[in-house]
Amino acid sequence: MHVLWAPWRMTYVKRAAKEGGMTCIFCEALKAPEEESLVIYRNRLAFAMLNKYPYNTAHVMIAPVRHVPRPELLTDEEMLEIGRVLKIVLKAIDMEYSPHGYNIGANVGRVAGAGIESHLHIHVVPRWSGDTNFMPVVSETKVMPESLRSTYVRLKRAVNKVLGKNARA
């Protein structure tokens, strides 16, 4: 196996190892400027942000504003708002990237794969025919064709178009 050096991930790895004392990335994102935390949309109950460690370009996470670990703990209003944000995000990604499909889902609990199990979040991962090429299969390396900053600008602009706004990212 070849080694791909990604030293910027060490901060995440160290925090994830101390789950109990770990700062919630979702709650922290709501305190920081949107551009810094990669939040592409927010309202009083839910928000959407880019995943800093994406599986694919335009990998978005949608979460309730309230720090809740499981779906059944959400109010009906929060659950509905997460659905509304999902619709906005899908329209924006479709408009900007034209994917052929999506993986959409939540990992609830550590054994189910949740990296941040204390704050429920839904992953939205765009997929394209042929997006799995020889690199991950042969070299165990994923190639990301666009920077997070570029993706943020494009998706923020697309979200604003979906919402009928002309604001800049």
Domain membership of residue 151 (yes or no) is yes
Domain membership of residue 8 (yes or no) is no
pLDDT at 134: 46
Q: What is the pLDDT of residues 30-76, one digit of tens each?
A: 999 999 999 999 999 999 999 998 888 999 999 999 999 999 999 99
**What gap in Å lies between CA 73 and CA 142, rounded to an integer?**
35
Q: What are phi and psi of 123, to 5 degrees?
A: -90, 135
Residue 127: pLDDT above 80? yes
pTM of the model: 0.80
Q: What is the pLDDT of residues 16-27, one digit of tens each?
A: 545 455 689 999
**What gap in Å lies between CA 144 and CA 6, rounded to an integer?**
13
The domain total for the chain is: 1
pLDDT at 135: 45
Domain membership of residue 54 (yes or no) is yes
Active-site residue identified among 59, 119, 121, 123:
121
Domain membership of residue 23 (yes or no) is no
Percentage of the chain exceeding pLDDT 90: 62
Confidence of residue 12 (pLDDT cuts 50, 70, 90): low
pLDDT at 129: 85
100 tagged catalytic: no
Residue 142: pLDDT above 80? no
Residue 140: pLDDT above 60? no
Q: Which residues of 120-143 are buried (b: 16+ CB within 10 A; e: fewer)?
A: bbbbbbbeeeebeeeeeeeeeeee
Domain membership of residue 60 (yes or no) is yes
- Mean pLDDT value across residues 137-145: 58
Name the more confident of 87 and 10: 87
Q: What is the CATH number of the domain that holds 148?
A: 3.30.428.10
- Bridge partners (DSSP) of residue 47 are 42, 63
pLDDT at 10: 61
